[in-house]
Amino acid sequence: MAEQQLVMYTRSAFVCPYVKIAERVLKKHGVNYIEVDIDQDEDARQRVLHWTGFLSVPTLVIAPQHEVLPIEEPEPLDNGQSPRGIDRGYMLTEPSGKQLETWLQKHGFID
């Protein structure tokens, strides 16, 4: 995984239960990640809004090393469609614990 890294877009303005789920899963499996706070970074906020149609966190992406953008642009969602739990290739938003584990396995971050 040296050429790829996990990036988790989060918010500091409020505590999101999906962020807490993701943090627990990542800690349980010892997965390192970069955190980007969309309440502190306007460009990141606009990216999440573009990708998801909402300020949905966590939005997790697999990015090239030292970058925060996904390896590939995610498939677009239908207008107004919730991104929750939808595997979009190199992006996953608001997953359950099981959805996150499955996605991390698929991309080789956990066994």
- Residue 55 CA to residue 64 CA, distance in Å, equals 23
User: pLDDT by residue (tens digit) across 73-96?
Assistant: 998 898 889 999 999 999 999 999
111 within a domain of the structure (yes/no): no
Per the rule left: phi > 0, alpha: psi between -120 and 50, beta: everything else, 41 is beta
**How many structural domains are present in the chain?**
1
Determine the pLDDT at residue 2.
58
Determine the pLDDT at residue 51.
95
pTM of the model: 0.94
Determine the pLDDT at residue 76.
87
For range 9-28, the mean pLDDT: 95
90 within a domain of the structure (yes/no): yes
- Residue 11 CA to residue 40 CA, distance in Å, equals 8
User: pLDDT by residue (tens digit) across 36-69?
Assistant: 999 999 999 999 999 999 999 999 999 999 999 9
65 within a domain of the structure (yes/no): yes
Q: Which residues contact 111 (CB under 8 A, 6 or more apart)?
A: 105
Domain of residue 80, residue span: 4-106
CATH number at residue 77: 3.40.30.10
Determine the pLDDT at residue 94.
97
